[in-house]
Each structure stands twice: as structure tokens, then as C-alpha cells.
Amino acid sequence: MPKPIYKRVVLKLSGEALQGKKPHGIDHDVLLSIARQIKEVKTTGVEIAIVLGGGNIFRGQENIREKGLMMDRTVADYMGMLATVINGLALQDVLEKISMPTRVLTAIEMQKIAEPYIRRRAMRHLEKGRIVIFVAGTGNPYFTTDTAAALRAMEINADVILKATRVDGVYSDDPLVNRRAKKFDALRYIDVLNKGLKVMDATAISLCMDNKLPIIVFNLNVAGNIKRVILGEKIGTIVK
């Protein structure tokens, strides 16, 4: 059996990854499929932390622009953070039903439903074999969950960020729209910034570049891909 090449990883899941083919909300079948893939990886001994988005419930400024609402950016961002808490609780529930001990740590304190984020506590949970789910982003408006993933990965000394998407890597253009889009097997951080590629937002890429934290972008919709990345198979795109 191949051994994992990483000891501790941060898995970045968008809110859209949880909605499946639904227009919004959470698809339970998709949630269960993701949970089973995470369990498959956990059995290899890798320590897993997860950062969730909330776009399947509320996407802040995009929702406001589409509906012409005059909502303050800060308010919209806090609403988006609360959406990630809902997703985190849903994923925790499914993981624990398949016998995976999980802890939800939130950047915005809400004592009755999740633990407050404390770095040492998060690392202790990981060392004890628990899956840790980080929710509520960084706890501050104007920062995305991509930035939260980069920040948490560095705080807990993760080896890599695994960015799960709907496509099999980073392309020069949206491959779902442009069939001539070119796929990149590997990229430098500076190339992502200069080309304006939609891997993660510029703040997250800059943080990873400053701290030499690699990012692997891969297709979540192919069963077993999370484990393949963990075992070092060459899938997706690596940014380093």
C-alpha cells in the first residue's frame, strides 16, 4: 500500500461543492460522498483540516449585485460567514455518522454550537486523530474563505492546501465555457498572480507564496481523487 506523502493537509471545499446539482442548499448524497472520501484519506493516517465556503447558501456581494440590494459589504460578509457555519455543522454530522470524530472550530464565537478557534486547540484535535472543520472564515469582513484556508494552513503547519473544484486543474480560461482553454500541470505563485488565474484570490496566493506553502487544485467530482493527491499521484495542477 503506498504511503501518503503529506502528514497534515488543509482541504478547501467551496459551498458549491456541497450543493451538487441543486440550485442552492446542500445535497445530502454529495455530502455523504465527500465524507466517505475524507474517511478514506483519514484511514491512511493523514491529519485533515477542512475550510468550507458558504456560496451555496449566501455569497455576499454577488448576491447583492444580482438582486440590486443596497446592503453594506460588512453585513453581507458576515452573512456569508454564518453560511459557512451551517455547512460545517452539516459536514460534521455526516462525518460522525460514519464514525469519524470531528470538531467544528469557528472564528466567530457561538458557544452552543461550535468551539471557538484557538490555534493550540486545533492542533491538539489533529494530533488526537480528529478531523477539524474551520468555519466563519477569518472572522473578519473583506477576507474570503480562500484567504482563511491559507491562514489556517500556515497556523497549523500544514504541508499543503488541497483546493477541490469542479474541474481537473487550473486552466488559462474556464474549460466549461472555452474548450480551447489550456491546462497547466504546474505553476509558480507569481504566474498565477500575473496571469490573473482563478486559483485562489490574490491575498491567499500571496500568503502561500511568502510562506512557500504549495496548493494542489484537483477535481472533487472524481471519486477517490482526494486520496490520490495524498498518495502523491500527479493529478490536477500544483502551484508552488
Q: What is the pLDDT of residue 66?
A: 61
Is the residue at 15 inside a domain?
Answer: yes
Higher pLDDT, 58 or 85: 85
Look at residues 239, 235, 238, 228 and name the one whose alpha carbon lies nearest to residue 5: 228
The number of folded domains in the chain is 1
Helices and strands (H and E) in the chain: how many: 9, 11
Count of Cβ atoms closer than 10 Å to residue 40 Cβ: 14
* pLDDT for the residue numbered 72: 86
Judge whether residue 62 has pLDDT over 70. Answer: no
Q: Cell digits for 214?
A: 504549495
Cell of 196: 490573473
Span 174-221, pLDDT tens digits: 877 888 889 999 999 999 999 888 889 999 999 999 999 999 999 998
Domain membership flag for residue 1: no
Domain that holds residue 59: 8-239
Ramachandran area for residue 99 (φ above 0: left; ψ -120 to 50: alpha; else beta) = left
- Predicted TM-score (pTM) of this structure: 0.93
Q: Residue 160: inside a domain, yes or no?
A: yes
Say if 3 falls within a structural domain: no
Residue 187: its H or E element: strand 186-187
Q: Is residue 202 part of a domain?
A: yes
Task: Report the CATH number that the domain containing residue 60 is assigned in CATH.
Answer: 3.40.1160.10
